[in-house]
Amino acid sequence: MQGKIALEEHFAPPAAFDARLKYAGDRLPGWPELAKRQEGMFDIGLAEMDKAGVERIIVSLGAPTIQAILDAKDAADSARRANDYLKGKIDGRPDRFSAFAAVPMQDPEAAARELERCVKQLGFKGALVNGFTQQHEEDSALYYDMPRFTPFWDALEELDVPLYLHPRNPMASQMRIYEGHPWLLGSAWAFGVETATHALRLMCGGVFDRHPRAKVVLGHLGEALPACMWRVEHRIKKSGQKMPAKKPLIDYFRNNFYLTTSGNFHDATLHGAIREVGIGKVLFSADYPFEDAVEAAQWFDQAELSEADRQRIGRQNAVELFRL
Question: Which residues 6+ apart lie within 8 Å of 173 measured at CB?
Answer: 139
Cis amide bond preceding 29, omega within 30: no
3-state SS, one letter per residue, for 9-29: EEECCCCCCCCCCCEHHHHCC
Residue 287 annotated to the active site: yes
- Of the candidates 154, 287, 301, 309, the residue annotated as catalytic is 287
Q: Are 118 and 102 in contact (CB under 8 A)?
A: no
Which residue from 99, 148, 161, 210 is spatially nearest to 322, judged by alpha carbons?
A: 161
Active site residues: 287
